[in-house]
Copies of this chain bind each other. A is one copy, B any other.
């Protein structure tokens, strides 16, 4: 991502081998790197959102499997499989919605199967090489998404985005923010409306920070202001990322995305989703089958990750982390293989790897 800003998640030889990531719970106040030297640390980092965003979670999980192999005491590959199986189960149990997590673990399964009869170091090397490929590949795919989106973003566009689908949500560059970066780099003079994205304020904390760092004009609003700015004709398109896309084009993304999509439809504003093909779950027929994570009520009683609870302490709280936007509200899904449009069952099948 930006010069001087470290990668979102990477392998490091330091400390005898570790998964290094930006602790995003501390941004934008502090830039702190977290070095995980065991899988439990990686799993907890995913759960508490130190690393978040579907592609970045996939990268962290792949590196987590490489870490498990690296840290295993097993002296033959067969004996290492038990350690790897335990690591896989722990990582798979972290968050249910983002399909990239399961996609990345599936990629590591393939490497394990290939090297199961070789010596442990070959398995270790194979897992690390594939994990680092996934990370590098994700960056390249994000940049391709940005290039492919240029046909959709007119000069001077006011683009509304929700949550953070930026460099911090990926190996770098971002999906939705990749689209915005590419338009900015192409001289399109875009301006971004940034939904703050309650409850954890990924928009206010992360997206606003990325855009300010890049010098891309941006204005922060509370989520409930999106309707007003659209009604005033001040939004030309919406671009968001996704945590899982069903085969029919239904899109799971951060809670509040569906509300933005309904508003966009009401105002005739095109609603675009930017995501790599690894976010498409071809095994799921429709979005109502996507598991939606319910997170702790305390998140709603806080601002960001800071513990301040001004809400009525005795009230029940509902805190779904994601929602599902039906395909008929989606104007296009921008992938690294091209721009898919309705009917999505056919167009998404056409971009499959």
The answer to whether A303 and B300 touch across the interface, beta carbons within 8 angstroms, is no
Kindly identify, within residues 256 to 291 of chain A, every residue whose CB is under 8 Å from any CB belonging to chain B.
256, 258-259, 262-263, 265-266
Interface string of A140-170 (1 = CB under 8 A from B): 0000000000000000000000100000000
Bound CA–CA A187/B306 (angstroms): 40
The answer to whether B228 and A311 touch across the interface, beta carbons within 8 angstroms, is no
Q: What is the chain B residue whose CB lies nearest that of A207? A: B312
* Complex interface: stretch among A47-55, A108-116, A214-222: A214-222
From the candidates B217, B218, B308, B313, name the one contacting A306 in the complex (CB within 8 A).
B308
The answer to whether A310 and B29 touch across the interface, beta carbons within 8 angstroms, is yes
Kindly identify, within residues 168 to 212 of chain A, every residue whose CB is under 8 Å from any CB belonging to chain B.
194-199, 201, 204-205, 208-209, 211-212
Chain B residues, CB < 8 A from A212: 312, 314-315
A229 at the interface (CB under 8 A from B): yes
A41 at the interface (CB under 8 A from B): no
* Complex interface: stretch among A8-16, A99-107, A316-324: A316-324
Interface string of A64-87 (1 = CB under 8 A from B): 000000000000000000000000
A304 at the interface (CB under 8 A from B): yes
A28 at the interface (CB under 8 A from B): yes
Chain B residues, CB < 8 A from A208: 311-312, 315
Q: What is the chain B residue whose CB lies nearest that of A258? A: B227
The answer to whether B220 and A256 touch across the interface, beta carbons within 8 angstroms, is no
A138 at the interface (CB under 8 A from B): no
The answer to whether B28 and A312 touch across the interface, beta carbons within 8 angstroms, is yes
Q: Determine how close the nearest CB of chain B comes to the CB of A217; give it in whole angstroms.
A: 8
Chain B residues, CB < 8 A from A301: 204
Chain B residues, CB < 8 A from A255: 222, 224-225, 228
Interface residues of A (CB under 8 A from B): 28-29, 162, 194-199, 201, 204-205, 208-209, 211-212, 217-229, 231, 255-256, 258-259, 262-263, 265-266, 300-306, 308, 310-320, 323-324
Question: Would you mind naming 14 contact pairs between A and B with Cβ atoms under 8 Å apart?
Answer: A28-B311, A204-B310, A205-B310, A211-B315, A221-B300, A221-B319, A222-B319, A224-B224, A227-B323, A228-B320, A262-B262, A265-B266, A302-B303, A303-B303
